[in-house]
Structure 1
Amino acid sequence: MQAKRINNWLNATELKSSLKDQNILDWLNEDGSITARISSNAKFKLEVLSDDLGVAEDEEYSALNIASEDVRIREVILYGDLVPLVYARSIIPNLTASKGYPGLGSIGSKPLGDLLFQSDLFTKTHREFAQFKAASEDLIWGRRTRYLVKGYPLSVMEVFLLP
């Protein structure tokens, strides 16, 4: 996906002073499943761009408070009525997939949100926000959420493809 973060990650207070568009704020502050939100208004489709072991960005390791290692990197596009609405990148460390929640290693074409919001094992611990520049040069917004499952971390970054 061709979207590059153009500012530092912001906390919720900083976001409110940086962004006034209520529609985008509603998406960024959604506490429920983005998959469910899209499905409630449109025909949902998920496209898996990649789902492989690999090396994440240094700041992704820092955000998870783990050492650099091969991790599962899953990138998907979420569509509503065949319109791309969200690019998501999940970082799932090996210990999280093996000891935290074994199903994370084999999600396949299922939305990760289905697991995160249907199991009490996942706890949201931190959320931050940033602005991105899309390939089209549009400025768009995204968020990164850190979860723990049985004490093991994972992160989900969602970039909302709404100009």
Structure 2
Amino acid sequence: MSLASPTPHWLSADQLSPAAASSVRDWLFNQDSLTRRLTALSAGSFSVTPLREGWLSMRDDECTALDVPPGSMGWVREVYLRGNGQPWVFARSVAARQVLEGSGLDLQQLGSRSLGELLFSDQAFARGELQVCRYPGAWLPAEAVQDGLWARRSCFRREQLAVLVAEVFLPAFWPAASR
């Protein structure tokens, strides 16, 4: 993955033009827990597959969203959210190191648990506005590279801590969502 990939234009619901199909908009802008929705859609056959996590330089768009200097180090976690064994969503979560280390939140211990479930179960976290884009294929894992997939992101904040969560809807997801 190249940090020099073209930065997508993250848009709010009212900035999205032309508007996406209503079934797509429902998944992009729904404020509920994506983990819970995917669990229901898969009739309980939901799982999280960690791909990589660790202290890495965050991308410029992530630094901007978290209001930290470009090139800042952060905890980066990339996973597949699977329904019925298929990767439905690629998720990338980041938190700036300087804030995360003193926050009491230990993202290293998540393993195959859903970060979204953790964030939604802690009432101290407030979710920011959902933004969407067509995600650059270069930012996806090698086996999932495809340009133009729908993605959404939002920032969860608790005091000074901010966790930016981006979720990319993979091609295998949409047939399941339209059943």
User: Structure 1 120/137 Cα, relative in aligned 2: closer, same or farther at 3 Å?
Assistant: closer
Report the AA paired with residue 14 of structure 1: Q
Closer, same or farther: CA 122–5 of 1 in aligned 2, 3 Å: farther
Deviations 1:59-82 (A, max 9, x none): 211111012322110001111111
What is the CA distance between 1:161 and its match in structure 2?
A: 1.2
| Residue 33 (structure 2) aligns with | 33
Q: Over residues 17-36 of structure 1, what are the superposed CA-to-partner deviations in whole Å (9 max), with x where a residue is unaligned?
A: 32331221111012111111
Residue 94 (structure 2) pairs with residue 91 (structure 1): yes
Note the alpha carbon deviations across 1:91-131, whole angstroms, 9 max, x for none.
11224433334233422221001111101111112321101
Report SS of the residue matched to 1:144: strand
Q: Secondary structure at the match of 1:141?
A: strand
Partner of 1:66: 68
CA distance in structure 2 between the aligned counterparts of 1:136 and 1:69, rounded to whole angstroms: 26
Matches within 5 A, 1:12-161: 12-15=13-16, 17-42=17-42, 43-67=45-69, 68-132=71-135, 134=137, 137=146, 139-161=148-170
Q: CA deviation at 1:138?
A: 6.1
CA shift digits 1:131-163 (9 cap, x unpaired)? 135556463211110121122212001111146
Preserved CA contact (<8 Å) 2:134 2:147:
no
Higher strand share: 1
TM-score, length basis structure 2: 0.79
The 2-side partners of 1:137 and 1:99 are apart by: 37
- The Cα of 1:45 is off from its aligned counterpart by 1.4
The letter of the residue matching 2:107 is L
Q: Could you tell which deviates more after superposition, 67-76 or 94-103? A: 94-103
CA spacing shift, 1:72–1:157, aligned 2, 3 Å: same
CA RMSD of aligned residues (A): 2.2
Tell me how many residue pairs correspond in the alignment: 160
Unmatched 5+ residue regions in structure 2? 138-143, 175-179
Once the two structures are TM-superposed, the CA of residue 6 in structure 1 deviates from its matched residue by 7.4
**Against the structure 1 CA distance between its residues 133 and 116, is the aligned structure 2 distance closer, same or farther, given a 3 Å change threshold?**
same
Contact 1:91/1:156 (<8 A) preserved: yes
